[in-house]
A and B are shown apart, each in its own frame.
Chain A
Amino acid sequence: KQEVTQIPAALSVPEGENLVLNCSFTDSAIYNLQWFRQDPGKGLTSLLLIQSSQREQTSGRLNASLDKSSGRSTLYIAASQPGDSATYLCAVLPDSGGYNKLIFGAGTRLAVHP
């Protein structure tokens, strides 16, 4: 059964720091991996989608990498800002079954202070 783990559970950093959020998954048979941002009490905003054939994706200050064989993904945030404060979720689409069900991690709660 696929399990997704995110480390650390919470992170507090000063503004301007570069930081790395980690996501690991137990079964490397995935079709793709997606990173989301969730603000308190709000919906999920898609940040980056990495297909299993890709190694990384970039959007602005965000860079996500995928190492499928080792079951790991990282989200790199450059020059963090207070507006980056949110919970970051990763989710994998297993390469089996109906290809419908994303499996989510519990998230990393990020606080960037001025």
Chain B
Amino acid sequence: EPEVTQTPSHQVTQMGQEVILRCVPISNHLYFYWYRQILGQKVEFLVSFYNNEISEKSEIFDDQFSVERPDGSNFTLKIRSTKLEDSAMYFCASKERGLTGELFFGEGSRLTVL
């Protein structure tokens, strides 16, 4: 069964360092997302991406965050200068259709900022 894959599964970084989280969405999907879950809290939306541009972003997604689809298969989330409060599980998700489509998530990348 097709699945969303994410790398790395766990990354530890020092505060102020840049981090890139990578995702390979399901191949025929057109809508791509990043969500995050801080330990013990709800899953929260970060950003959506369609047709090679951001379609919506949350208040969390400030200038320190960026997303890119550098080729036909990868979708990346970059955090320019990490803060302690960026420590969380980051989930990539994708769906085939915008409104009626089912959202499929990857296994997540756990980011620990020291």
A interface residues (Cβ-Cβ under 8 A, vs B): 31-32, 34, 36, 41-46, 49, 51, 89, 91, 93, 97-107
Contacts and interface: CB of A to CB of B under 8 A. Distances in A.
A106 B42 contact: yes
Interface residues of B, number: 28
A99 B99 contact: yes
Contacts of B45: 100-103
Contacts of A103: 45
B52 interface: no
A68 to B, nearest CB: 15
B105 A89 contact: no
Contacts of A105: 42
Interface residue SS majority, chain B: strand
A104 B44 contact: yes
Contacts, number: 61
B25 interface: no
Contacts of A102: 35, 43, 45, 103
B48 A101 contact: yes
B102 interface: yes
A15 B49 CA distance: 42
Contacts of B42: 104-107
A44 B104 CA distance: 8
Closest 5 CB pairs of A and B: A100-B48, A98-B56, A43-B107, A44-B105, A100-B56
